[in-house]
Amino acid sequence: MTDMIPAWVNGTLTPVEKLEVHQRGLKHKAVSVFVMDGERVLIQQRALTKYHTPGLWANTCCTHPYWAEASADCALRRLDQELGITGLFPSHRDRVEYRADVGNGLTEHEVVDIFVAEATPTLNVTPNPDEVADTRWVDLYDLAAEVARWPDRFTPWLRIYLDKHKDRIFGALVRA
């Protein structure tokens, strides 16, 4: 059931195929990870072959857990599968819900467990080209300014995280 993700259908959590979830705009579980080095965050540009939001910049890792997979396990699995990152210990920061149009008649309506992991710029990052076109480290505040200036270069969820949930995700890093 690896292509099935947890989604709510008629108020009941049930496994549903991932593309169908997005076509129907069903509320579903998701995981987002931010790998940080102090105030710098590792972001990824989504592969051009992704079925939604190809080529847009996103947080370090964003995905959906398999049916019955714990969010923390999913975070570790996808850091490795998408970016070749191992040996980090992401901590759960919060759970947020959002709904966003992601183009081509698809909708993300996610209940997201958000994790943050501390790393150093020497972290070994080996992007999987089927998932990630590029990566870069960027200061969190420079990223917020980029998103404000060029929002169409970034995924809807990253824009939402930075606009509505920055203090909940980054806590003490948020400048007054």
Show which residues are catalytic. 62, 110
Structure tokens at 48: 């051009």
User: What phi, psi does 155 have (nearest 5°)?
Assistant: -65, 150
For residues 138 and 146, the answer to whether their CB atoms sit within 8 Å is yes
Show the CA angle centred on residue 57, arms to residues 153 and 102, nearest 5°.
70
For 134, residues 6+ apart whose C-beta sits below 8 A from its C-beta are: 44, 45, 127
What is the gyration radius of the CA atoms in the chain, in angstroms?
15
Output phi, psi for 164, to 5 deg.
Answer: -110, -20
Cα–chain center distance at 122: 22
CA 78 to chain centre: 10
